[in-house]
Structure 1
Amino acid sequence: MTFNRPLKATLILALCAGLAACGGNRSRGVSATAANSAPPGGVELGREGNVETYAKSSIWDVFGPDSGDQTVNVNRYIWAASLDVLNFLPVQSVDPFTGVIITGYGTPPGGGRSYRATVHVRDPALDARSLNLSLQSRNGAVSPATTRAVEDAILARARQLRIRDRKL
């Protein structure tokens, strides 16, 4: 099968244009280095905590959930109080968007038993139902009275922080 020269050139140009359209332009409105470092979700937290939005990477991202409208549903007083009360435990993982703090084993001051904690702040309200605490020792689960005492200490500290902010 032979093609004449103008038809061959048109076919090659059409193939090149089709391949160029498949590549996409991710750096629209963003520097080239920032576009290459963008995560697949389309949002990246900067060093100062500001959010920089990037173009989506494929057509299928349009049908997925939009990560640009995320809100933080965590009570800041309970969050800060949890870190304050459990400051003797080494922090292993923190996720302020889901409200989860995971710590490693540590011994409280004046105590001989080591504990680790998982804290889940579920609601933006300053309420006991917003806090879910799980304590564990090296020997297994901790008594419910101990868990309740730590929860009460966190909630009391959260109320103190809120009262202090109101006076400012």
Structure 2
Amino acid sequence: MTQRPASARILLGTGMAVMLLATASCGLTGNRGTRAPVETPTSDEILAETAEREGTARGRSRSTLADLFKPRGDQGQIGAVNKYIWTASLEVLNFLPVETVDPFTGVITTGFGTPPGGGQAYRATILVNDPALDARSLNLALMTRSGPASASTVRAIEDAILTRARQLRARDAKL
């Protein structure tokens, strides 16, 4: 390894120092006076907003003893997702390998799979976005390896999922 002359080392060191100072001072010359400060709520304001949204004030519930006897909402929902449509989707599309599921957002993503007796491979993304047992609660995106599946195939699978969801609900109603 050859050693550089002293003047080259001094020049290199000076150049590095100038570059270091130039990059370190980049944020020093900006016009900071035009930026507005970020307004963040205090913890008391956040708690008050949460209490207002949930119907409580200062930690006290606004419910009464009579609330125990009021009819409760549909018990066929998990958060904002209808449990019957969710379960029916998994049952009807059981030939597809499940990649991800998120019951809180209502998204089921599958990999490619071939239905029994079929030759075409499909991949599905299901969104259950409403707690109601309704066709509007189900969104299905069905893909083949060559592109989107036909509308009639998507409609047939949606019908099968909704039919199975109604069967599951009817079975639970008999219990």
Give the TM-score, by structure 2 length.
0.57
CA radius of gyration, larger in? 2
Partner residue in 2 for 1:77: 84
Moved over 2 A (4+): 59-64
Match 1:150 to one of 145, 157, 160: 157
Q: Does 1:89 align with 2:100?
A: no
Shift of 1:60: 8.6
User: Residues 29-68 of structure 1: matches in 2 within 5 Å?
Assistant: none
Deviations 1:47-87 (A, max 9, x none): xxxxxxxxxxxx999588x99x9x71000000000000000
Partner residue in 2 for 1:161: 168
Deviations 1:78-104 (A, max 9, x none): 000000000000000000000000000
Q: Does 1:139 align with 2:137?
A: no
CA distance in 2, matches of 1:132, 1:105: 18
Structure 2: gaps spanning 5 or more residues: 1-39, 54-77
Shift of 1:162: 0.2
Identity %: 65
Partner residue in 2 for 1:128: 135
Structure 1: gaps spanning 5 or more residues: 1-58
Distance 1:76 1:61, change over 3 A: farther
Distance 1:139 1:164, change over 3 A: same
Distance 1:61 1:149, change over 3 A: farther
Paired residues, number? 109
CA distance in 2, matches of 1:112, 1:148: 19
Query: What RMSD over aligned residues (CA atoms) do the two structures have, in Å?
Result: 2.7
Give the TM-score, by structure 1 length.
0.59
